[in-house]
Structure 1
Amino acid sequence: MSPSLLSGILKTLAVAFCSALLSTSIAQAELLAPFKDDLFAYPHVLRQADDGRYMAVDYRSKRDINQRDEIPERRVSGGYVDLSVRRDQQDLIATTEVARMPHMAVGRQQNARFIVVYLYGQGGNRRQGMDDFTFGGNFNRIKNLAVRNGGLYLTTDFSDFGATGARQVASLISLYAAHSPQASVFVACGSMGGGICWRLADNERVAPRLGGLLLLGSHWDEGFLSSRAFKRKVPVFFGHGGDDRVFPVEQQEQFFRSILQKSPGYPARFVRFETGSHGTPIRMSDWRGTLNWMDASR
Protein backbone atom coordinates (compact mmCIF):
# COMPACT_ATOMS: atom_id res chain seq x y z
CA MET A 1 0.00 0.00 0.00
CA SER A 2 1.40 3.35 -0.96
CA PRO A 3 2.17 5.92 1.77
CA SER A 4 -0.30 8.41 0.25
CA LEU A 5 -3.13 5.84 0.21
CA LEU A 6 -2.37 4.82 3.80
CA SER A 7 -2.34 8.46 4.85
CA GLY A 8 -5.73 9.01 3.22
CA ILE A 9 -7.24 5.99 4.95
CA LEU A 10 -5.90 7.12 8.32
CA LYS A 11 -7.34 10.62 7.82
CA THR A 12 -10.75 9.18 6.92
CA LEU A 13 -10.73 6.96 10.00
CA ALA A 14 -9.68 9.87 12.17
CA VAL A 15 -12.52 12.05 10.87
CA ALA A 16 -15.03 9.24 11.42
CA PHE A 17 -13.73 8.62 14.94
CA CYS A 18 -13.94 12.32 15.85
CA SER A 19 -17.46 12.54 14.44
CA ALA A 20 -18.53 9.54 16.50
CA LEU A 21 -17.04 11.08 19.63
CA LEU A 22 -18.80 14.37 18.92
CA SER A 23 -22.15 12.66 18.39
CA THR A 24 -21.71 10.69 21.60
CA SER A 25 -20.75 13.86 23.48
CA ILE A 26 -23.82 15.72 22.22
CA ALA A 27 -26.10 12.82 23.12
CA GLN A 28 -24.59 12.58 26.60
CA ALA A 29 -24.95 16.33 27.09
CA GLU A 30 -28.72 16.17 26.63
CA LEU A 31 -30.95 15.22 29.54
CA LEU A 32 -33.21 13.09 27.34
CA ALA A 33 -32.15 10.95 24.38
CA PRO A 34 -34.44 10.71 21.31
CA PHE A 35 -37.59 8.61 21.49
CA LYS A 36 -40.10 8.64 18.62
CA ASP A 37 -39.09 12.22 17.83
CA ASP A 38 -40.34 12.01 14.25
CA LEU A 39 -43.87 11.12 15.40
CA PHE A 40 -44.06 13.81 18.08
CA ALA A 41 -42.35 16.65 16.21
CA TYR A 42 -44.22 19.94 15.94
CA PRO A 43 -46.13 20.47 12.70
CA HIS A 44 -45.25 23.29 10.32
CA VAL A 45 -44.15 26.52 12.04
CA LEU A 46 -46.44 29.35 10.95
CA ARG A 47 -44.63 32.27 12.60
CA GLN A 48 -42.13 33.18 15.28
CA ALA A 49 -41.55 36.20 17.49
CA ASP A 50 -39.71 37.38 20.60
CA ASP A 51 -36.34 36.19 19.29
CA GLY A 52 -37.69 32.70 18.74
CA ARG A 53 -39.21 32.34 22.20
CA TYR A 54 -42.71 32.50 20.71
CA MET A 55 -43.84 30.06 18.04
CA ALA A 56 -47.18 29.41 16.38
CA VAL A 57 -47.49 25.98 14.77
CA ASP A 58 -50.01 24.50 12.40
CA TYR A 59 -52.55 22.26 14.13
CA ARG A 60 -55.33 20.38 12.36
CA SER A 61 -57.68 18.04 14.19
CA LYS A 62 -58.27 15.90 11.10
CA ARG A 63 -54.55 15.17 10.89
CA ASP A 64 -53.43 15.42 14.52
CA ILE A 65 -56.37 13.51 16.00
CA ASN A 66 -58.26 11.56 13.34
CA GLN A 67 -55.19 10.31 11.44
CA ARG A 68 -53.20 9.72 14.61
CA ASP A 69 -55.79 7.85 16.68
CA GLU A 70 -57.43 4.49 16.07
CA ILE A 71 -60.38 5.80 18.10
CA PRO A 72 -60.34 9.61 18.05
CA GLU A 73 -59.37 11.04 21.45
CA ARG A 74 -59.63 7.63 23.11
CA ARG A 75 -56.95 5.34 21.64
CA VAL A 76 -53.87 6.38 19.68
CA SER A 77 -52.43 4.18 16.93
CA GLY A 78 -50.01 1.55 18.20
CA GLY A 79 -46.90 3.01 16.61
CA TYR A 80 -47.02 5.98 18.98
CA VAL A 81 -46.62 3.93 22.14
CA ASP A 82 -44.25 1.46 23.75
CA LEU A 83 -46.07 -0.46 26.47
CA SER A 84 -42.96 -2.14 27.88
CA VAL A 85 -42.75 0.86 30.21
CA ARG A 86 -45.66 -0.56 32.20
CA ARG A 87 -43.23 -2.93 33.89
CA ASP A 88 -41.82 0.07 35.73
CA GLN A 89 -45.19 1.58 36.73
CA GLN A 90 -46.59 1.47 40.27
CA ASP A 91 -49.76 2.73 41.94
CA LEU A 92 -48.74 3.85 45.44
CA ILE A 93 -49.79 5.69 48.58
CA ALA A 94 -47.29 7.89 50.38
CA THR A 95 -47.83 9.16 53.91
CA THR A 96 -46.33 12.63 54.21
CA GLU A 97 -46.45 15.15 57.04
CA VAL A 98 -49.44 16.73 55.27
CA ALA A 99 -51.61 13.88 53.98
CA ARG A 100 -51.84 10.39 52.56
CA MET A 101 -51.06 10.85 48.88
CA PRO A 102 -52.33 8.32 46.32
CA HIS A 103 -49.97 8.63 43.37
CA MET A 104 -48.39 6.72 40.50
CA ALA A 105 -44.70 6.41 39.69
CA VAL A 106 -42.71 5.27 36.68
CA GLY A 107 -38.95 5.03 36.72
CA ARG A 108 -36.20 5.34 39.29
CA GLN A 109 -37.51 6.18 42.77
CA GLN A 110 -34.05 6.69 44.21
CA ASN A 111 -31.10 8.56 42.72
CA ALA A 112 -33.12 9.63 39.69
CA ARG A 113 -31.39 11.96 37.23
CA PHE A 114 -34.53 14.12 37.07
CA ILE A 115 -38.13 14.13 38.29
CA VAL A 116 -41.17 15.09 36.22
CA VAL A 117 -44.52 15.64 37.93
CA TYR A 118 -47.81 16.00 36.03
CA LEU A 119 -50.77 17.72 37.71
CA TYR A 120 -54.19 17.33 36.13
CA GLY A 121 -56.99 19.87 35.70
CA GLN A 122 -60.66 19.95 36.67
CA GLY A 123 -62.23 16.48 36.66
CA GLY A 124 -58.93 14.64 36.37
CA ASN A 125 -57.08 12.27 38.66
CA ARG A 126 -53.68 10.63 38.99
CA ARG A 127 -54.51 8.10 36.27
CA GLN A 128 -54.94 10.73 33.56
CA GLY A 129 -51.22 11.37 33.24
CA MET A 130 -50.47 7.64 33.15
CA ASP A 131 -52.90 6.77 30.35
CA ASP A 132 -50.89 5.33 27.48
CA PHE A 133 -53.47 5.81 24.74
CA THR A 134 -55.25 9.14 25.28
CA PHE A 135 -53.87 12.53 24.24
CA GLY A 136 -52.17 11.02 21.23
CA GLY A 137 -49.84 8.82 23.29
CA ASN A 138 -47.99 11.82 24.70
CA PHE A 139 -48.15 10.53 28.28
CA ASN A 140 -46.71 7.21 27.15
CA ARG A 141 -43.85 9.15 25.62
CA ILE A 142 -42.93 10.98 28.82
CA LYS A 143 -43.13 7.69 30.72
CA ASN A 144 -40.68 6.11 28.28
CA LEU A 145 -38.42 9.15 28.32
CA ALA A 146 -38.23 8.97 32.11
CA VAL A 147 -37.46 5.25 32.27
CA ARG A 148 -34.99 5.25 29.38
CA ASN A 149 -33.01 8.18 30.79
CA GLY A 150 -32.78 7.28 34.46
CA GLY A 151 -35.54 9.63 35.57
CA LEU A 152 -38.77 9.46 37.54
CA TYR A 153 -42.26 10.43 36.38
CA LEU A 154 -45.00 11.03 38.94
CA THR A 155 -48.72 11.74 38.88
CA THR A 156 -50.69 12.36 42.05
CA ASP A 157 -54.12 13.06 43.44
CA PHE A 158 -54.70 16.20 45.52
CA SER A 159 -57.69 17.76 47.22
CA ASP A 160 -58.00 21.11 45.41
CA PHE A 161 -56.22 23.62 43.17
CA GLY A 162 -55.51 26.05 46.00
CA ALA A 163 -53.24 26.26 49.01
CA THR A 164 -54.19 22.87 50.46
CA GLY A 165 -53.58 21.02 47.22
CA ALA A 166 -50.29 22.83 46.74
CA ARG A 167 -49.09 21.83 50.22
CA GLN A 168 -50.01 18.22 49.50
CA VAL A 169 -48.15 18.16 46.20
CA ALA A 170 -45.16 19.95 47.72
CA SER A 171 -44.95 17.31 50.45
CA LEU A 172 -44.90 14.49 47.88
CA ILE A 173 -42.29 16.24 45.73
CA SER A 174 -40.12 16.85 48.79
CA LEU A 175 -40.37 13.17 49.75
CA TYR A 176 -39.12 11.96 46.38
CA ALA A 177 -36.60 14.78 45.96
CA ALA A 178 -34.95 13.71 49.21
CA HIS A 179 -34.26 10.30 47.66
CA SER A 180 -32.78 11.91 44.51
CA PRO A 181 -30.73 14.84 45.84
CA GLN A 182 -29.15 15.69 42.48
CA ALA A 183 -32.39 15.66 40.48
CA SER A 184 -34.06 18.79 39.14
CA VAL A 185 -37.84 18.77 39.41
CA PHE A 186 -39.99 19.68 36.42
CA VAL A 187 -43.69 20.28 37.11
CA ALA A 188 -46.25 20.18 34.29
CA CYS A 189 -49.73 21.53 35.01
CA GLY A 190 -52.75 21.01 32.81
CA SER A 191 -55.58 23.57 32.84
CA MET A 192 -56.66 24.37 36.43
CA GLY A 193 -53.63 22.47 37.71
CA GLY A 194 -51.72 25.64 36.94
CA GLY A 195 -52.96 27.03 40.24
CA ILE A 196 -50.66 24.56 41.96
CA CYS A 197 -47.78 25.24 39.58
CA TRP A 198 -47.81 28.93 40.46
CA ARG A 199 -47.96 28.21 44.19
CA LEU A 200 -45.05 25.76 43.96
CA ALA A 201 -43.05 28.50 42.26
CA ASP A 202 -42.86 30.28 45.60
CA ASN A 203 -42.81 27.23 47.88
CA GLU A 204 -39.75 27.40 50.09
CA ARG A 205 -39.10 23.66 49.82
CA VAL A 206 -39.89 23.06 46.16
CA ALA A 207 -38.81 26.27 44.40
CA PRO A 208 -35.07 25.70 45.02
CA ARG A 209 -35.33 22.29 43.29
CA LEU A 210 -37.39 23.41 40.30
CA GLY A 211 -35.84 22.84 36.89
CA GLY A 212 -38.86 24.16 35.03
CA LEU A 213 -42.62 24.74 34.92
CA LEU A 214 -44.82 23.61 32.02
CA LEU A 215 -48.22 25.30 31.72
CA LEU A 216 -50.39 23.25 29.34
CA GLY A 217 -53.63 25.00 28.40
CA SER A 218 -53.47 26.69 31.78
CA HIS A 219 -53.86 30.16 33.25
CA TRP A 220 -51.66 32.99 34.44
CA ASP A 221 -50.69 34.39 37.83
CA GLU A 222 -49.07 37.78 38.28
CA GLY A 223 -47.70 36.61 41.60
CA PHE A 224 -45.14 34.54 39.73
CA LEU A 225 -43.25 37.74 38.90
CA SER A 226 -42.22 38.08 42.54
CA SER A 227 -41.77 34.39 43.32
CA ARG A 228 -38.67 32.47 44.33
CA ALA A 229 -38.71 30.62 41.01
CA PHE A 230 -38.83 33.85 39.01
CA LYS A 231 -35.85 35.24 40.93
CA ARG A 232 -33.96 32.03 40.13
CA LYS A 233 -34.96 32.33 36.46
CA VAL A 234 -36.59 28.91 36.45
CA PRO A 235 -37.58 28.15 32.82
CA VAL A 236 -41.28 28.35 31.96
CA PHE A 237 -43.01 26.74 28.99
CA PHE A 238 -46.47 27.74 27.82
CA GLY A 239 -48.39 25.47 25.46
CA HIS A 240 -51.76 26.85 24.44
CA GLY A 241 -54.51 26.22 21.92
CA GLY A 242 -55.31 29.09 19.58
CA ASP A 243 -59.03 28.39 20.04
CA ASP A 244 -59.01 27.73 23.79
CA ARG A 245 -62.48 28.68 25.09
CA VAL A 246 -61.56 28.22 28.77
CA PHE A 247 -58.45 30.37 29.08
CA PRO A 248 -58.17 32.77 26.10
CA VAL A 249 -54.82 32.46 24.38
CA GLU A 250 -54.39 36.23 24.09
CA GLN A 251 -54.32 36.65 27.87
CA GLN A 252 -51.76 33.90 28.31
CA GLU A 253 -49.63 35.45 25.55
CA GLN A 254 -49.85 38.79 27.32
CA PHE A 255 -48.66 37.21 30.56
CA PHE A 256 -45.80 35.47 28.75
CA ARG A 257 -44.63 38.81 27.35
CA SER A 258 -44.94 40.46 30.76
CA ILE A 259 -42.31 37.98 31.96
CA LEU A 260 -39.96 39.01 29.16
CA GLN A 261 -40.67 42.66 29.79
CA LYS A 262 -39.81 42.44 33.48
CA SER A 263 -36.78 40.23 32.89
CA PRO A 264 -35.38 40.51 29.33
CA GLY A 265 -33.77 37.24 28.32
CA TYR A 266 -35.82 35.23 30.80
CA PRO A 267 -35.94 31.52 29.79
CA ALA A 268 -39.60 31.41 28.75
CA ARG A 269 -41.14 29.82 25.67
CA PHE A 270 -44.62 29.93 24.20
CA VAL A 271 -46.01 27.47 21.64
CA ARG A 272 -49.42 28.35 20.21
CA PHE A 273 -51.21 25.48 18.50
CA GLU A 274 -53.24 27.37 15.93
CA THR A 275 -56.95 26.36 15.94
CA GLY A 276 -56.24 23.99 18.85
CA SER A 277 -58.70 23.64 21.73
CA HIS A 278 -58.25 23.58 25.51
CA GLY A 279 -56.70 20.10 25.66
CA THR A 280 -54.49 20.38 22.57
CA PRO A 281 -51.24 21.30 24.39
CA ILE A 282 -51.36 18.09 26.43
CA ARG A 283 -51.54 16.12 23.19
CA MET A 284 -49.07 18.15 21.16
CA SER A 285 -46.38 19.62 23.44
CA ASP A 286 -42.92 18.16 22.87
CA TRP A 287 -41.75 16.73 26.19
CA ARG A 288 -38.22 15.92 25.07
CA GLY A 289 -37.50 19.22 23.35
CA THR A 290 -38.95 21.23 26.22
CA LEU A 291 -37.21 19.40 29.05
CA ASN A 292 -33.86 19.41 27.23
CA TRP A 293 -34.19 23.17 26.69
CA MET A 294 -35.05 23.72 30.35
CA ASP A 295 -32.13 21.62 31.52
CA ALA A 296 -29.73 23.47 29.22
CA SER A 297 -31.04 26.83 30.49
CA ARG A 298 -30.01 26.22 34.09
Structure 2
Amino acid sequence: MFAHADISTADTLPPFKDDLFSTQTTLQTGNDGAFDVIDYDEMRDINGRDQIPEKRTQQKYVSLGIRKLQNNETLSLDGVKLDVARVGPSTGAAFTVIFVHGRNGDRRLGVNDYTFGGNFNRLKNLVAGNGGVYYAPSVKTFDSDGVTAVAGLVRYASAQAPGRPIILTCASMGSQICWGATRDAETVKRLKGMVIMSGVADPDFAKSAFYKARLPLWFAHGSRDPTYAAADQQALFETLVKSGYPTHFTLYQTGNHGTPIRMIDWRRTLNWILASKN
Protein backbone atom coordinates (compact mmCIF):
# COMPACT_ATOMS: atom_id res chain seq x y z
CA MET A 1 0.00 0.00 0.00
CA PHE A 2 2.78 2.43 0.89
CA ALA A 3 5.99 2.74 -1.11
CA HIS A 4 9.32 3.01 0.64
CA ALA A 5 11.39 6.01 -0.35
CA ASP A 6 15.08 5.63 -1.09
CA ILE A 7 16.45 7.84 1.64
CA SER A 8 19.90 7.92 0.02
CA THR A 9 18.69 10.23 -2.75
CA ALA A 10 18.68 14.02 -2.57
CA ASP A 11 14.92 14.30 -3.16
CA THR A 12 14.01 11.59 -0.70
CA LEU A 13 10.29 11.95 -0.15
CA PRO A 14 8.10 11.89 -3.27
CA PRO A 15 5.31 14.44 -3.80
CA PHE A 16 2.20 14.17 -1.65
CA LYS A 17 -0.61 16.68 -2.30
CA ASP A 18 2.05 19.18 -3.42
CA ASP A 19 -0.56 21.08 -5.43
CA LEU A 20 -2.33 21.88 -2.16
CA PHE A 21 0.59 22.32 0.24
CA SER A 22 3.70 23.27 -1.77
CA THR A 23 2.40 25.94 -4.15
CA GLN A 24 3.27 28.84 -1.86
CA THR A 25 4.29 32.25 -3.17
CA THR A 26 7.80 33.40 -2.29
CA LEU A 27 7.89 37.16 -1.75
CA GLN A 28 11.59 37.50 -1.01
CA THR A 29 14.75 35.43 -0.71
CA GLY A 30 18.13 36.16 0.82
CA ASN A 31 21.34 34.64 2.15
CA ASP A 32 21.85 32.63 -1.06
CA GLY A 33 18.44 31.01 -0.67
CA ALA A 34 18.78 30.20 3.03
CA PHE A 35 16.14 32.81 3.92
CA ASP A 36 12.73 33.18 2.35
CA VAL A 37 9.57 35.17 3.00
CA ILE A 38 6.37 33.32 2.08
CA ASP A 39 3.05 35.01 1.35
CA TYR A 40 0.40 34.21 3.96
CA ASP A 41 -3.21 35.36 3.90
CA GLU A 42 -5.59 34.37 6.66
CA MET A 43 -8.70 34.63 4.48
CA ARG A 44 -7.17 32.33 1.89
CA ASP A 45 -5.07 30.02 4.05
CA ILE A 46 -7.57 29.47 6.88
CA ASN A 47 -11.04 30.52 5.80
CA GLY A 48 -10.56 29.40 2.20
CA ARG A 49 -9.00 26.10 3.18
CA ASP A 50 -11.04 24.98 6.18
CA GLN A 51 -14.59 23.67 6.25
CA ILE A 52 -14.79 25.00 9.83
CA PRO A 53 -12.06 27.64 10.31
CA GLU A 54 -9.21 26.35 12.52
CA LYS A 55 -11.18 23.22 13.48
CA ARG A 56 -11.77 21.11 10.37
CA THR A 57 -10.06 21.41 7.02
CA GLN A 58 -11.70 20.47 3.72
CA GLN A 59 -11.65 16.75 2.91
CA LYS A 60 -9.33 17.11 -0.08
CA TYR A 61 -6.46 18.09 2.23
CA VAL A 62 -6.43 14.76 4.08
CA SER A 63 -5.86 11.10 3.23
CA LEU A 64 -7.02 8.93 6.10
CA GLY A 65 -5.67 5.54 5.00
CA ILE A 66 -2.56 6.33 7.03
CA ARG A 67 -4.60 5.87 10.22
CA LYS A 68 -4.18 2.11 9.76
CA LEU A 69 -0.55 2.61 10.80
CA GLN A 70 -1.37 4.77 13.85
CA ASN A 71 -1.28 3.58 17.47
CA ASN A 72 -1.28 5.12 20.93
CA GLU A 73 1.22 3.58 23.32
CA THR A 74 2.98 4.26 26.61
CA LEU A 75 6.72 3.69 26.47
CA SER A 76 8.90 3.03 29.49
CA LEU A 77 12.15 4.86 28.82
CA ASP A 78 14.71 4.22 31.55
CA GLY A 79 11.86 4.17 34.05
CA VAL A 80 10.19 7.29 32.63
CA LYS A 81 6.69 6.69 31.28
CA LEU A 82 5.97 8.55 28.05
CA ASP A 83 2.64 8.56 26.21
CA VAL A 84 3.15 8.72 22.45
CA ALA A 85 1.16 8.46 19.28
CA ARG A 86 3.11 6.41 16.74
CA VAL A 87 2.41 6.34 13.02
CA GLY A 88 4.46 3.78 11.11
CA PRO A 89 6.48 0.69 11.99
CA SER A 90 7.73 0.20 15.54
CA THR A 91 10.98 -1.33 14.27
CA GLY A 92 13.15 -0.99 11.18
CA ALA A 93 11.83 2.41 10.09
CA ALA A 94 13.64 4.11 7.21
CA PHE A 95 13.76 7.33 9.27
CA THR A 96 12.08 8.89 12.31
CA VAL A 97 10.36 12.24 12.82
CA ILE A 98 9.42 13.40 16.34
CA PHE A 99 7.06 16.34 16.90
CA VAL A 100 6.99 18.11 20.28
CA HIS A 101 3.87 20.22 20.94
CA GLY A 102 3.65 23.50 22.85
CA ARG A 103 1.89 24.50 26.07
CA ASN A 104 -1.47 22.85 26.78
CA GLY A 105 -0.89 20.30 24.02
CA ASP A 106 -0.43 16.54 24.10
CA ARG A 107 0.12 13.69 21.67
CA ARG A 108 -3.29 14.22 20.06
CA LEU A 109 -2.22 17.55 18.56
CA GLY A 110 0.48 16.08 16.35
CA VAL A 111 -1.76 13.40 14.84
CA ASN A 112 -4.93 15.47 14.38
CA ASP A 113 -5.79 15.03 10.71
CA TYR A 114 -8.12 17.98 10.35
CA THR A 115 -6.65 20.89 12.31
CA PHE A 116 -3.94 23.23 10.97
CA GLY A 117 -5.26 22.78 7.46
CA GLY A 118 -4.47 19.08 7.35
CA ASN A 119 -0.72 19.68 7.62
CA PHE A 120 -0.24 16.98 10.27
CA ASN A 121 -2.06 14.50 8.04
CA ARG A 122 0.36 15.36 5.25
CA LEU A 123 3.30 14.91 7.62
CA LYS A 124 2.01 11.49 8.67
CA ASN A 125 1.62 10.43 5.05
CA LEU A 126 5.05 11.76 4.05
CA VAL A 127 6.75 9.90 6.91
CA ALA A 128 4.86 6.65 7.46
CA GLY A 129 3.80 6.45 3.82
CA ASN A 130 7.49 6.23 2.89
CA GLY A 131 8.59 3.63 5.43
CA GLY A 132 9.40 6.05 8.21
CA VAL A 133 7.93 6.34 11.70
CA TYR A 134 6.39 9.46 13.22
CA TYR A 135 6.13 10.00 16.98
CA ALA A 136 4.03 12.64 18.74
CA PRO A 137 4.79 12.42 22.48
CA SER A 138 2.82 14.02 25.32
CA VAL A 139 5.35 16.26 27.06
CA LYS A 140 4.21 17.12 30.58
CA THR A 141 6.72 19.84 31.39
CA PHE A 142 9.03 22.03 29.33
CA ASP A 143 11.96 21.80 31.71
CA SER A 144 14.79 19.31 32.22
CA ASP A 145 12.26 16.51 32.90
CA GLY A 146 10.66 17.11 29.52
CA VAL A 147 14.07 17.16 27.85
CA THR A 148 14.95 13.86 29.56
CA ALA A 149 11.73 12.25 28.36
CA VAL A 150 12.29 13.29 24.73
CA ALA A 151 15.96 12.32 24.90
CA GLY A 152 14.74 8.89 26.01
CA LEU A 153 12.43 8.76 23.00
CA VAL A 154 15.32 9.62 20.67
CA ARG A 155 17.39 6.80 22.18
CA TYR A 156 14.44 4.42 21.87
CA ALA A 157 13.81 5.33 18.23
CA SER A 158 17.50 4.90 17.46
CA ALA A 159 17.51 1.45 19.06
CA GLN A 160 14.46 0.41 17.00
CA ALA A 161 16.11 1.51 13.74
CA PRO A 162 19.89 1.70 14.28
CA GLY A 163 21.77 4.12 12.09
CA ARG A 164 18.66 5.59 10.49
CA PRO A 165 18.03 9.38 10.49
CA ILE A 166 16.06 10.98 13.32
CA ILE A 167 14.63 14.47 12.90
CA LEU A 168 13.42 16.36 15.98
CA THR A 169 10.77 19.03 15.44
CA CYS A 170 9.39 21.37 18.10
CA ALA A 171 6.69 24.04 18.12
CA SER A 172 6.15 27.08 20.35
CA MET A 173 7.10 26.40 24.00
CA GLY A 174 8.11 22.90 22.91
CA SER A 175 11.15 24.55 21.33
CA GLN A 176 12.61 24.61 24.85
CA ILE A 177 12.75 20.81 24.58
CA CYS A 178 14.62 21.01 21.29
CA TRP A 179 17.14 23.50 22.63
CA GLY A 180 17.63 21.35 25.72
CA ALA A 181 18.24 18.32 23.53
CA THR A 182 20.97 20.18 21.62
CA ARG A 183 23.08 20.22 24.79
CA ASP A 184 23.08 16.45 25.27
CA ALA A 185 25.86 14.84 23.24
CA GLU A 186 24.28 11.38 23.48
CA THR A 187 21.06 12.70 21.96
CA VAL A 188 22.82 14.77 19.32
CA LYS A 189 24.84 11.86 17.94
CA ARG A 190 21.54 10.14 17.11
CA LEU A 191 19.98 13.16 15.38
CA LYS A 192 20.02 14.12 11.71
CA GLY A 193 18.58 17.62 12.12
CA MET A 194 16.00 19.80 13.80
CA VAL A 195 13.01 22.04 12.99
CA ILE A 196 11.93 24.96 15.22
CA MET A 197 8.46 26.44 14.58
CA SER A 198 7.25 29.62 16.32
CA GLY A 199 9.85 28.99 19.00
CA VAL A 200 11.92 30.81 21.56
CA ALA A 201 15.47 31.78 20.65
CA ASP A 202 18.45 30.18 22.36
CA PRO A 203 21.27 32.71 22.89
CA ASP A 204 23.63 29.91 23.98
CA PHE A 205 22.99 27.59 21.02
CA ALA A 206 26.57 28.06 19.76
CA LYS A 207 27.83 26.32 22.92
CA SER A 208 25.77 23.18 22.27
CA ALA A 209 26.82 19.76 21.03
CA PHE A 210 24.31 20.12 18.17
CA TYR A 211 26.03 23.30 16.98
CA LYS A 212 29.45 21.67 17.17
CA ALA A 213 28.15 18.75 15.10
CA ARG A 214 26.87 21.28 12.52
CA LEU A 215 23.56 19.48 12.11
CA PRO A 216 20.99 21.20 9.87
CA LEU A 217 18.49 23.50 11.56
CA TRP A 218 15.31 24.87 9.95
CA PHE A 219 13.38 27.78 11.44
CA ALA A 220 9.77 28.69 10.58
CA HIS A 221 8.08 31.74 12.06
CA GLY A 222 5.18 34.15 11.49
CA SER A 223 6.17 37.80 11.10
CA ARG A 224 3.39 38.95 13.47
CA ASP A 225 3.87 36.28 16.12
CA PRO A 226 2.70 37.91 19.39
CA THR A 227 4.06 35.13 21.61
CA TYR A 228 7.68 34.80 20.51
CA ALA A 229 9.02 37.57 18.30
CA ALA A 230 10.27 36.51 14.88
CA ALA A 231 13.12 39.03 15.17
CA ASP A 232 14.71 37.03 18.01
CA GLN A 233 14.88 33.87 15.90
CA GLN A 234 16.03 35.83 12.85
CA ALA A 235 18.91 37.29 14.81
CA LEU A 236 20.07 33.79 15.76
CA PHE A 237 19.62 32.58 12.18
CA GLU A 238 21.66 35.49 10.79
CA THR A 239 24.50 34.77 13.18
CA LEU A 240 24.47 31.12 12.13
CA VAL A 241 24.24 31.70 8.39
CA LYS A 242 27.10 34.20 8.44
CA SER A 243 29.31 31.52 9.96
CA GLY A 244 28.40 29.06 7.20
CA TYR A 245 26.21 26.94 9.46
CA PRO A 246 23.65 24.72 7.61
CA THR A 247 20.43 26.57 8.39
CA HIS A 248 17.26 27.87 6.75
CA PHE A 249 14.69 30.42 7.85
CA THR A 250 11.15 30.64 6.44
CA LEU A 251 9.19 33.72 7.49
CA TYR A 252 5.44 33.80 6.83
CA GLN A 253 4.50 37.37 6.02
CA THR A 254 1.69 38.56 8.38
CA GLY A 255 1.67 35.07 9.96
CA ASN A 256 0.59 34.55 13.56
CA HIS A 257 1.86 32.16 16.24
CA GLY A 258 0.18 29.07 14.79
CA THR A 259 0.95 29.88 11.15
CA PRO A 260 4.12 27.77 10.72
CA ILE A 261 2.39 24.59 11.94
CA ARG A 262 -0.31 25.17 9.32
CA MET A 263 1.92 26.38 6.51
CA ILE A 264 5.32 24.68 6.77
CA ASP A 265 6.04 22.65 3.63
CA TRP A 266 6.96 19.40 5.33
CA ARG A 267 8.18 17.72 2.15
CA ARG A 268 10.58 20.54 1.35
CA THR A 269 11.79 20.81 4.94
CA LEU A 270 12.34 17.09 5.56
CA ASN A 271 14.02 16.58 2.19
CA TRP A 272 16.42 19.45 2.93
CA ILE A 273 17.43 17.83 6.24
CA LEU A 274 17.59 14.28 4.87
CA ALA A 275 19.78 15.45 1.97
CA SER A 276 22.27 17.09 4.34
CA LYS A 277 25.74 15.55 4.32
CA ASN A 278 26.22 16.15 8.06
What TM-score range do you get, normalising by the shorter chain? Answer: over 0.9
User: Is 1:72 aligned to 2:72, yes or no?
Assistant: no
Taking the aligned partners of 1:111 and 1:208, their CA distance within structure 2 comes to 19
Taking the aligned partners of 2:28 and 2:38, their CA distance within structure 1 comes to 7
Asked whether the 8 Å contact 1:98–1:168 carries over to 2, the reply is no
Q: Secondary structure at the match of 1:172?
A: helix
Asked whether the 8 Å contact 1:27–1:33 carries over to 2, the reply is no
In the alignment, structure 1 segments of 5+ residues that lack a partner are 1-23
1:284 offset after TM fit, Å? 0.3
Alignment of 1:31-110 (within 5 A): 31-110=12-91
User: Is 1:237 aligned to 2:218, yes or no?
Assistant: yes
Q: Which runs of 4+ in 1 moved over 6 A?
A: 24-27
Question: Which residue type is aligned with residue 133 of structure 2?
Answer: L
Asked whether the 8 Å contact 2:26–2:36 carries over to 1, the reply is yes
User: Is 1:131 aligned to 2:112, yes or no?
Assistant: yes
Please tell me whether Structure 1 or Structure 2 has the larger radius of gyration of its CA atoms.
Answer: 1
Sequence identity (%): 39
Question: Which residue type is aligned with residue 198 of structure 1?
Answer: W
1:203-238 Cα deviation digits (max 9, x unpaired): 122101111111111111122212111111111111
In the alignment, structure 2 segments of 5+ residues that lack a partner are none
1:239-287 Cα deviation digits (max 9, x unpaired): 00011001111111111111123x22x1100010000100000000011
Asked whether the 8 Å contact 2:185–2:210 carries over to 1, the reply is no
Counterpart for residue 249 of structure 2? 270
Asked whether the 8 Å contact 1:88–1:106 carries over to 2, the reply is yes
1:105-153 Cα deviation digits (max 9, x unpaired): 0012111111000000011111100000000100000111112211000
Question: Which residue type is aligned with residue 278 of structure 1?
Answer: H
Of residues 250, 253, 266, the one that matches 2:231 is: 250
Q: Secondary structure at the match of 2:196?
A: strand
1:41 offset after TM fit, Å? 1.2
Taking the aligned partners of 1:104 and 1:129, their CA distance within structure 2 comes to 8
TM-score (norm 1): 0.88
Alignment of 1:173-252 (within 5 A): 173-252=154-233
User: Is 1:153 aligned to 2:148, yes or no?
Assistant: no
Asked whether the 8 Å contact 1:98–1:171 carries over to 2, the reply is no
1:26 offset after TM fit, Å? 11
Q: Which has the higher contact order (CA 8 A, sep 6+)?
A: 2
Taking the aligned partners of 1:110 and 1:187, their CA distance within structure 2 comes to 18
Asked whether the 8 Å contact 1:113–1:182 carries over to 2, the reply is no
Counterpart for residue 263 of structure 2? 284
Of residues 101, 108, 114, the one that matches 1:120 is: 101
Taking the aligned partners of 1:119 and 1:29, their CA distance within structure 2 comes to 26
Question: Which residue type is aligned with residue 181 of structure 1?
Answer: P
Counterpart for residue 10 of structure 1? none
Question: Which residue type is aligned with residue 273 of structure 1?
Answer: Y
Taking the aligned partners of 1:110 and 1:153, their CA distance within structure 2 comes to 12
Asked whether the 8 Å contact 2:61–2:118 carries over to 1, the reply is yes
1:43 offset after TM fit, Å? 2.1
Taking the aligned partners of 2:44 and 2:79, their CA distance within structure 1 comes to 45
Number of corresponding residues = 273
TM-score (norm 2): 0.94
Structure number with the higher helix fraction is 1
Question: Which residue type is aligned with residue 294 of structure 1?
Answer: I
